[in-house]
Amino acid sequence: MGLPDLIQQLNQVVFRYEASRKLKRLTLIWLAASGLTILACLFLKPISSQQDQLFLLAVLLGIPFLAAIGTLFSRVHKLLSPANRHKVATLIERTYPDLDTSLLATLELENAMNEVRPTFLQHRLVQQVIEHGTHHDWRQTISNRKLFLQSTAHVLCFIAWFIGCLSCWSYLKAAPLPKETPLATALVNKQYLVEIKPGTTELEKDHPLLITARFTGETPETATLRIVSTSDEPQTIPLDKHLDDPVFAVRLPMITHDLSYVVQADSWESETYQVKVFVLPELVQLDTVINAPDYTGRPTQKMEDALQMSAIVGSSIELQARFNKPVQTALLESENQQPLPLKVSSDGMSARIRIIAENNQSWNLRLIDSQSRENRTPPYIDLVVVPNLPPEIKVTFPARDTRVSPLEEALIQGSVSDDFGLQQVSLVYTIPGQTAQTLSLRETTKPVLEFVAEHLLSMERLQVQPDTLISYYLFAEDIAPDGNTRKVLSDMYFMEVRHFEEIFREGRSASSSSQSKKSGGNAKQVEKLAEQQKQIINATWKIIRREIKSTVSDQFNKDVSTVQEAQQALVASVLKLGSKIKSHKSKVIIDSVVQKMQETVSILDSVNQSRNVEQLTAALNTEQSSYQLLLKLRAREHRVSQNKNGGGSKGGGSSRSQQQMQQLELTNKKQRYETENQASQAQAAQPDREALQILNRLRELAQRQKDLNEQLKALSDKKRLAKNDQEREEIERQLKRLRERQRELLRNTDEVAQKMDQSKKASSAKSRRELEQTRSHLQQSSEALKKGQVSRALNSGTRAQQQLDQLKNEFRKKTANQFADAMRSLNKQAEQLNEKQKEISQALNKQQQLTQPEKKRSLRKNKGQQALADKLHEQESDLKNLVEQMKKIVQESEKSEPLLSKHLYDAIRKTRPYRPADSLKNAANFLKEGASERAQQAEQRAAEGIEAMKQGIEVAAESVLGNDLESLKRAREAIKALSSEMKNEQKLAGNPNSQNQRTASSPKATPSGSPKTPTDKQSNSSKPGQQKQAGSPSGQGKSPVQLASAQKGKGQSSGSKPGVSQSSTSKAGPKSLKSAKGKPKGGSGGSQGGPGGQTTGPITGNQFRKWSDRMRDVEEMVGDPDLRSKVAQIRERAQSMREEFKRHSKVPKGDLVNAQILEPLAELQKILSNEIIKRGAQTTLAPIDGDPVPEKYSDLVRRYYEELGSGK
């Protein structure tokens, strides 16, 4: 017995092992085939076609048989392979553990023993294994019982499969149709009377579709809708039926492609209906190319995706619009103007137009496709034309009329600025009777935006004599919009050459009322006549400056006639004065004055007839000669007394010698009793409204871009971790919404750019260029979001946010209110510190009262005292932090805001004697030691110091912020007007409860019964004058003499007498280019919904931007951050409603408007009213006497106080 015998024994076991494995696999095949057969019977319908029946039979029988045959003949060639023997040997080893791997070791010797004679040990091992196989039946490793059970299971599964096949065959094979009966025929050919809506129709893309089937007569139990779409597989949807209503309906949420549908019920079906999906034309993007005029020297400006734009007057603007589908007609429609057609490209996907910027324009882009469909919401395109304004000239020194000596050198300084470049700047001075002299102050020919003019005029070189009049003015030249040179004149100022010696004597003090009644003699009358003659000169100069066009204005004759009448009246006054004068020398001068004035009247009469502006120069020369002659009649000796305000009052003269009078040492007798005067408080300089609007918008843009970047960052992380298509689709939808928000930010940036273009400040040009770079980054972010590049969009958005923050900070520093936020914060911290100190003081007092006097000190810690000590330490830390902030602001504001720096420094200096920080520290230590009385004393000293610091900070804040009380009053009035306009939205919505809701937002929401403070009365009394100035053009209804007199005080210091002030036409500037359409400011607000829209409420009207700007004004008026946040929230809610209205043309509900806008506005108005009442109590001015004086005694009481005041 050798190795072949062993292998023969193993092969017997291999046969049994392979038979068992194949039986197992065949059993599984028949079992799976049986299951599939059962499923086919359950879910397949009977088949009537013979070919389908044969195919079904082939599938049911063929597939299992092929699988069984494949299983039987698989691995036949590998049946007796060493690998199989090795598997079987492993099985035998497991069955007979006593072999101890000897069988496996013997199989490993198979190859070696075929080549080399086996050794004794190897031969002995084989013998032992064979003997073990002889004594043990290795075939029972695969037992007979196991093979029998496997065979039985195999046969049963085969029988089950075969029976299942027969059953399924008999079920699925279509039975022959029964013989038709009348009832069956009726069921098959059953018909219904049904009305299906909408039938064959057209539907806009992405809109829902409601399909209804109304049955008349017999109604089926169920009905279905079969939909066949061009993009998806056919679908069958059940129709819903409610109760006994014979209407079946279904709503398809969103239709994106063409489809057809059929309604089915029982064996009946309707005809096939078609649904055609169409798309309305829409503007995808509007690109703008602006070519500025050559004289500006500006490069071509290209703007992508811009609906708001600004251009210099005369610029060539090319608009290129891209659409979502081919269009046939594109029109720019504007109110009261002919539509402008755009040239549509051959494929209809784009259109362009070239226009010249002349006036502000607003258009709605109307699109019409080949099926005459129009865009639902025409986009609003706004063009703001920046005018080419004349140069702005301002004489900065001396900026008033002056008196000089014959040997003096007078310095003349002025600032000249232009929006696009100055060509020439010169000084012109004139001495009556001599030719006007022109001095060029600018040597270079390169245009500049700003120029500082300076010249030293030597009186000695001019060889002027006392009582000589020198008039001077600046003029500048720039390029007008038509390309020609434009010349602009400044105000005219006068230098009066005085005598070397003038005598001022101290006179008798008198009250202001008595001074006004006493006559100053002939000298005073001469002063008055000279002043009136100067006004006539100013009026004539104003007409000359105004009439710079080729044709004179309509009011030219009227103004010249007014000046002529004023000159004639002055002639009569001079003649009357001449009758009182006895001096022969003075009479000769008066005769010369009358002659010159009559010559002026003659020239003005000639000008009135010929309408020749050049002749006014001759009239101006004669008027100046008259004024110079009047100067020779002035008195050279003056009496001066101290008036009640502490200043010098000169009897028999005017205020032309204020500088000399202030050098006198006058007797100061205080008046103990005075007539009550209205107190006035100088207002701090506030930044202009346009600057605050721009700053508010920049702050909002920076915050919105920051929020957008955070959302982009979160979406970028989600997109990277998305696991399925559903999450990716949701992320794509969110990215689409973020892109719309990014484009909205782009629109808002264009609005800010428009406002910057309207500003005449040179600093705005630099900010405008920086904003253009920011816009470029915003555009890149929008394009990246369109392409799905989130990381790139985030990078561009981050750069845009950084630039917006930088631009906001720089622009805030450029405004006059750069320290406003810091001072508001400082003021609030001081108030909080003071309030906490008062609470600590009350707690100490209460604890001191509870402490018994006879109680001795205890070493045990009092929990209440420990808490107070901790609060004192916290107060000390807050106080030190506050002082450090004050010191920092003092250093930063030393140059730009010296008054603020001085007040804050004084506040710190006045607080030092109290040493509040050390006092707080000592109070805390005393409390810890149990010395309550000493702690209380230290705390009181600290409280006094904190109170002094708080008052000092309030004074310093008022120097920057101005009068907060007046700002709050203006904010309250503005909110009242805004609420009134917003009520139109309720009326438009037809809210039945609007009458009840009206009480919540009416002005009556303010506390009733509260009396008006005197400050309220003052503000109300000052309104008519303010409204008159704001509502009427400068100079309307006034003569040129009155106009020149009224305008002299504007922008001048007290006591100064400038010549002709800058005309309103040269300073007008584009305050609000939108207001040129004739809409009243107080009318109903609206939005930029486009021209031609009906003026309703702010949300649904066409003036929403103005309403929103006024809300921004309110934000800047209220200094409290919480109130400012509330105003911003209300404005943002209105903005959301406006966007919803523009997107869906749906009027907001009245309840929603009331809850989100009107009620918060009413609450805000109530808060402001309470704050005004609280602050007004501190500034209330009370009269000296509590009760009013009876009318019949008023004169007696007045004379009594006058005599007391004069010291009699």
Buried b / exposed e over 276-294, threshold 16 CB at 10 Å, is ebeeebbbebbbbebbbbe
pTM: 0.54
Cα 840 to Cα 259: distance, rounded to the nearest angstrom: 79
Please classify residue 301 by burial: count the beta carbons closer than 10 Å to its beta carbon, then call 0-12 exposed, 13-18 middle and 19+ buried: middle
CATH number for the domain that contains residue 883: 1.20.120
910-953 pLDDT, tens digit per residue, is 888 888 888 888 888 888 887 888 888 888 888 888 888 888 88
Q: What is the pLDDT of residues 87-98, one digit of tens each?
A: 777 777 777 777
Q: Give the tens place of pLDDT for each residue, 684-728.
A: 344 456 777 777 788 888 888 888 888 888 888 888 788 787 888
Q: How confident is the model at residue 356 (pLDDT cuts 50, 70, 90)?
A: very high
Torsion of CA 1037, 1042, 1043, 1046, to 10 degrees: -120
Query: How does residue 286 score in pLDDT terms, banded at 50, 70 and 90?
Result: very high
Residue reference for tokens 């009078």: 661
Domain assignment present for residue 993? The answer is yes
**Residue where a domain stops, chosen among 278, 306, 341:** 278
Among 672-681, 811-820, 1156-1165, the least confident range: 672-681
Stated as kind and residue range, the H or E segment containing 1114 is helix 1104-1117
Q: Is residue 519 predicted with pLDDT exceeding 90?
A: no
Work out the pLDDT band at 342, boundaries 50, 70, 90: very high
Tokens of 887: 């010191």
Residue 283's pLDDT is what?
Answer: 93
pLDDT, average across residues 1182-1188: 48
Residue 728 lies in a domain: yes
pLDDT in tens, 817-831: 557 777 878 888 888
Token pair of 209 as six digits? 């579709």
At CA 759, angle to CA 757 and CA 761, rounded to 5?
115
| Judgement on whether residues 603 and 543 belong to the same structural domain of the protein | yes
Residues 766, 826, single domain; the answer is no
Q: Does the pLDDT value for residue 315 go beyond 90? A: yes
Confidence of residue 62 (pLDDT cuts 50, 70, 90): confident
Domain final residue, candidates 253, 278, 303: 278
Q: What angle do CA 792, 793, 796 make, to 5 degrees?
A: 85
Report, as an integer, the average pLDDT of 1073-1089: 37
pLDDT of residue 1053: 35
Are 803 and 828 part of one and the same domain?
Answer: no
- For residue 312, what are the β-bridge partners? 386
Q: Please check the confidence at residue 287 and state whether its pLDDT lies above 90.
A: yes
pLDDT for 662:
52
- Asked whether residue 350 carries a pLDDT value surpassing 90, the answer given is yes
In a domain, 952, yes or no: yes
Look-up: residue for tokens 């609206």?
Answer: 1086
**Residue 369 pLDDT exceeds 90:** yes
Angle in degrees, CA 450, 317, 756, rounded to 5: 40
Instruction: Give the span between the Cα atoms of 781 and 798, in whole angstroms.
Output: 9
User: Is the residue at 475 inside a domain?
Assistant: no
pLDDT at 1041 over 80: no
- Residues 6 or more apart in contact with residue 493 via CB below 8 angstroms: 395, 398, 399, 400, 401, 402, 471, 472, 473, 1058, 1059
pLDDT, mean of residues 274-296: 92
Q: Which of 43-52, 199-208, 1163-1172 has the lowest mean pLDDT?
A: 43-52
Amino acid identity at 548 = I
Nearest to 270, CA basis, from 248, 253, 293, 296:
248
649 pLDDT more than 80: no
**Residue with token string 């040492």:** 665
Longest dimension (CA), the chain: 175
602-627 pLDDT, tens digit each? 999 998 888 888 888 888 989 989 88
Confidence label for 669 from pLDDT (cuts 50, 70 and 90): very low
Query: Are residues 50 and 105 both part of a single domain?
Result: yes
Do residue 844 and residue 919 come from a single domain? yes
Predicted pLDDT of residue 951: 87
Q: Is the pLDDT of residue 671 over 50?
A: no
- Is the domain of 52 the same as that of 147? yes
| Residue 1186 falls inside a structural domain | no
> What is the structure's pLDDT at 1026?
37
What per-residue confidence (pLDDT) applies to 1073? 31
Q: Is 802 helix (H, G, I), strand (E, B) or coil?
A: helix
Residue type, 57: L
**Residue 185 pLDDT > 70:** no
- Burial class of 852 by CB neighbour count within 10 A (0 to 12, 13 to 18, 19+): exposed
Residue 981 lies in a domain: yes
> For the residues 1031-1057, what does the mean pLDDT come to?
38
Query: Could you write out the DSSP letters of every residue in 110-162?
Result: HHHHHHSPPPHHHHHHHHHHHHHHHHS-GGGGS-HHHHHHHHHHHHHHHHHHH
pLDDT of residue 1052: 37
Inter-residue contact 381 to 1039 (CB < 8 Å): no
Q: What pLDDT does residue 658 have?
A: 53
Q: Residue 648 CB: number of other CB atoms within 10 A? A: 22
Question: CB neighbours of 474 closer than 8 A, spacing ≥ 6?
Answer: 393, 395, 414, 416, 425, 426, 427, 428, 441, 453, 489, 490
- Dihedral pair phi/psi, residue 614, rounded to 5°: -65, -30
Is it the case that residue 262 has pLDDT exceeding 80? yes
- 226: domain CATH number is 2.60.40.10
**Does residue 542 share a domain with residue 623?**
yes
571, part of any domain: yes
- Count of beta carbons in the 10 Å neighbourhood of residue 834: 16
- What pLDDT sits at residue 476? 92
Question: What confidence score (pLDDT) does residue 280 get?
Answer: 92
Model pLDDT for residues 731-760, shown as the tens digit of each residue: 888 888 888 888 888 888 888 887 777 765
Asked if residue 1155 and residue 1087 are part of one domain, the reply reads: yes
Residue 448 domain-assigned (yes or no): no
pLDDT above 80 for 498: yes
How much is the average pLDDT of 1-30?
75
Residue 650 has pLDDT above 50, yes or no: no
Most confident among 107-116, 223-232, 855-864, 1179-1188 (mean pLDDT) = 223-232
Residue at a domain's end among 211, 243, 278: 278
What average pLDDT score do residues 1012-1029 get? 38
1097, 951: one domain: no
Mean pLDDT of the chain: 75
Checking if the pLDDT of 546 tops 70, the result is: yes
Q: Are residues 782 and 826 in the same domain?
A: no
What are the residues whose beta carbons fall under 8 Å from the beta carbon of 432, sequence distance 6 or more? 469, 621, 624, 625, 627, 628
Task: Report how many domains make up the chain.
Answer: 7
Q: What number is the average pLDDT over the span 1163-1189?
A: 66
pLDDT class for 1019, splitting at 50, 70, 90? very low
Same domain, 825 and 808: no
Res 678 pLDDT > 80: no
707 and 774 share one domain = yes
Backbone angles phi, psi at 1015, to 5 degrees: -65, -35
- pLDDT classification of 871: cutoffs 50, 70, 90: confident
- Distance between CA atoms of 389 and 1066, rounded to whole angstroms? 8
Q: What DSSP string runs through 17-60?
A: HHHHHHHHHHHHHHHHHHHHHHHHHHHPPPB--HHHHHHHHHHH
Q: Which domain holds residue 361?
A: 283-386
CA atoms within 13 A on the CB side of 223: 28
